[in-house]
Structure 1
Amino acid sequence: MPESHIDTKLAQEATLPLAGIRVLDLTLARAGPTCVRHLADWGAEVIRVEPPSFNDGLGGSRDGYDFQNLHRNKRSIALDLKTEDGKKAFFELAKTADVLVENMRVRVKHRLGIAPEQVHAVNPRLVYASISGFGQTGPYSERAGVDQIAQGMGGMMTITGEKGRGPMRAGIPFVDLTAGNLLALAVMMALWEREKTGKGRWVHTSLLEAMVFMLDLQAARYLMDGEVPGQAGNDHPVNIPMGAFDTADKPVNIAASSPKMWAQFAEAVGHKEWLEVEQWKTAKGRSDDRANLNAAITAVFKTQPSEHWIDLLERIGIPCGPINKVDQVFADPQVQHLKMAMPITIPGRGDTNLVSTAINIEGHDSQVRRIPPKLGEHSAEILKEHGYSDDDVARLRGLGVISGA
């Protein structure tokens, strides 16, 4: 990325919604970085505080797709928080920060001496944001937690996949992503409250809470009606017809479960007689006889290719669509129109793309203003901004308290 282009983008940073918000990023793995990525994308000044030896918690290369996708628009200081000098430097950074985000195991921040009460002692306006596996307190609070463990403990794996095939994880780490999204929302709420009170809050969520929250209607079925949901494969758990159906070439998804859409659907595919089948006249009846109804629809759909059915149903307003592989997703004209692939030039890789934000704010463009930083790339720069002299920086580097540039 040419220097002039970078300078232009950095100048634009001052106009973004979160310009003026300074964030200390102490996150690893995926859930915490997901939260910080929202803040960084929309103009917050993010200082990534990392240990002098690289470990992103994901097991991949710093130059790999995971790190590059999660850590754009940040600066990096490599700082050893286990030393007194490192901790002193950290608190100097904390004095001017608006937000701190961490997703360490619960006891680690207390062991390091950087827990909420200690940080708030030097900066009561700071919003301290945490993600843990199972919550900051309670019988599981000290356990290590990762996405798949939360999917299992939170019920997701028993409602995902085909009936009788055993537990199945989702194909993305959506618990990590959801926890990060929720924490970013909590940060914004706390920053807004601070405008009125002048004081920051400790906001936190966990993978388990995020997973249970995302059960949504399936959780409500149990809590309100006592129904324990099970696996339904590609079928919607309660609505029908809604799911994936084979065609002459590849499967498509359809959603025609309302009484009006069911009638329109039956007529459009040339089988108005389905509306006279006694069991299929009600949503409950169709659900109870799901296997026979799905078989009837599949038999019809297999007579024509997928595009035929998509075009037909689109014309009458019934939701439907292809089932795409990931390469087909990014070749889709609507995905391209939405600019979900964000262009970037990375040294050693050249021109490539990262996944864009899904948030749109009219009048603002989210873009990569800073490529993901090298470990400690801005260590000296950041310390000097906080009152350290060249000699101070040299001393800390000599002691191994900082590394990088």
Structure 2
Amino acid sequence: MSGPLQGIKVLDLSRVLAGPYCTMTLGDLGAEIIKVELPGGSDDTRYWGPPFQNDVSAYYLCTNRNKRAITVNLKTKQGKDIIKKLVKQSDVFIHNFKHETIERLGLSYEKVKDWNERLIYCSITGFGNTGPYNKLAGYDFVIQAMSGLMSITGTEKSGPVKVGVAISDVLTGMNAAISILAALNERHVSGIGQSIDLSLFDSQVAALVNVASNYLISGSIPGRLGNEHPNIVPYQTFEAKDRDIVIAVGNDHQFKRLCTVLNEETLAEDEFFRTNEKRLENRKSLVAILSVLFKQKTAAEWQALLNESGIPCGPINDMKSLFEDEQIEARDMLVEVEHPEAGIVPLVGSPLKFSRTPTTIRRHPPKAGEHNDEVLRELGFSKADIVRFSQDGVI
């Protein structure tokens, strides 16, 4: 069964996380992805670790399935000829070079659109191709700091804290996939491609959502609330008899049901706690009361009672308990792929679920240049050409 993007060809000159996450998503959806690196392999994540499995980096494995890999020296004339041939056959071109670098390589949108006017061209950088920061390198940690995310993450005691994954990269990869799909759809009408300018900074600022809106409307600079919510109470962790549990009461009806489960119905009618607005005003008093109550039972006991009453809650899983959770198996969120070097590799499954055209894993995360011969022969190069390219350092 084909994926929803079967027939779409993507030329991927990106590396590390944001771009590869985007192209893996497109590949899971059925697109053909050709991953281009410098001879020897230039995606830094190939060497990031530990852990490694048979010398293959776990980091690299996480975002590079469903791709074919070739190596091309972009500074050589023959290398540029190879890229030109690939561009002519592609629907999408994606890279994460800085603006001046892609210009120097002769692969700017203004250049490559002359080779293929239907091409969707996606550039991913730290700060975008315009503005005073357009020449700065952008790494996730720096973006989390500059975007304001770290100012609201952690507690007043801990100080600013980054999110535990490179969330700015992941968000940008998702935005890239969304933008590419939108541009492909528009191409059905116009018949021509266009360029997409994405930045980690923009993506992370946009993801501040309600926190940014709270500031823009009120003018009040938000602090670090730790596991508390700036707009909803109670919406945080509580210490049960054995371990912490997350309670997420989203409205007044849920709060009333929570009070019933706690055998404290009078709390729901208390003028200080009856509405969410009042609970925000009297957060400390309410949390102090609830903290005592939640210590009376184990987290599992509370979870059973709260789930039965339709009150959102959950345990704080570590990676071991997460991947042992029956929901993971039920949703196919843990898959195995056979790799020629690493052996059987466990990977996180796709979150995208389709009724007729499901996502599939058709290819293992490739070695650098693993498909040089295959792809170059498809482009019309002879075996002798390929041997010469290898000897001359073109591939």
What TM-score do you get using the length of structure 1 for normalisation?
A: 0.93
CA deviation string 1:319-375 (max 9, x = no partner): 111111111111111122001011112234332311111111112332321111111
Alignment of 1:180-191 (within 5 A): 180-191=173-184
Matched position secondary structure for 1:210: helix
CA distance in 2, matches of 1:25, 1:318: 44
Give the RMSD, CA atoms, in angstroms: 1.4
User: 1:276 offset after TM fit, Å?
Assistant: 4.2
Q: Which residue of 2 aligns with 1:344?
A: 337
Q: Which residue of 2 aligns with 1:77?
A: 70
1:135 and 2:123 matched = no
Q: Which residue of 2 aligns with 1:166?
A: 159
User: 1:115 offset after TM fit, Å?
Assistant: 0.6
Which stretch of structure 1 is more off in the superposition, 207-216 or 54-63? 54-63
CA contact (8 A) 2:127 2:200 kept: yes
Q: Which residue of 1 aligns with 2:52?
A: none
Matched position secondary structure for 2:290: helix
Q: Which residue of 1 aligns with 2:232?
A: 239
1:147 and 2:147 matched = no
CA distance in 1, matches of 2:102, 2:336: 36
Matched position secondary structure for 1:121: coil
CA contact (8 A) 2:120 2:180 kept: yes
CA distance in 2, matches of 1:221, 1:30: 30
CA distance in 2, matches of 1:259, 1:290: 14
Alignment of 1:1-400 (within 5 A): 12=1, 15-58=2-45, 59-60=47-48, 63-400=56-393
Q: Which residue of 2 aligns with 1:8?
A: none
CA deviation string 1:267-320 (max 9, x = no partner): 221112223433223322211221221121111111110111111111111111
Which stretch of structure 1 is more off in the superposition, 383-392 or 215-224? 383-392
CA distance in 2, matches of 1:393, 1:55: 20
CA contact (8 A) 1:18 1:39 kept: yes
| Residue segments in structure 1 that go unaligned for 5+ positions in a row | 1-11
CA contact (8 A) 1:342 1:367 kept: no
What TM-score do you get using the length of structure 2 for normalisation?
A: 0.95
Matched position secondary structure for 1:327: helix
Which stretch of structure 1 is more off in the superposition, 282-291 or 79-88? 282-291
CA distance in 1, matches of 2:385, 2:254: 71
CA distance in 1, matches of 2:117, 2:9: 15
User: 1:223 offset after TM fit, Å?
Assistant: 1.7
- Counting matched residue pairs gives 389
User: 1:57 offset after TM fit, Å?
Assistant: 2.7
Matched position secondary structure for 1:123: coil
CA contact (8 A) 2:88 2:116 kept: yes
CA deviation string 1:111-160 (max 9, x = no partner): 10001111101101010011100011110000000111111000000111
Matched position secondary structure for 1:122: coil
CA contact (8 A) 1:24 1:97 kept: yes
The ranges of structure 1 where at least 4 consecutive aligned residues each deviate by more than 3 angstroms after the TM superposition are: none
CA distance in 2, matches of 1:231, 1:138: 29
**Identical-pair percentage:** 37
Q: Which residue of 2 aligns with 1:9?
A: none
| Residue segments in structure 2 that go unaligned for 5+ positions in a row | 50-54
CA distance in 1, matches of 2:382, 2:338: 33
CA contact (8 A) 2:256 2:268 kept: yes
CA distance in 2, matches of 1:257, 1:163: 24
Which stretch of structure 1 is more off in the superposition, 262-271 or 153-162? 262-271
CA deviation string 1:240-277 (max 9, x = no partner): 01111110111111122411111111122111222343
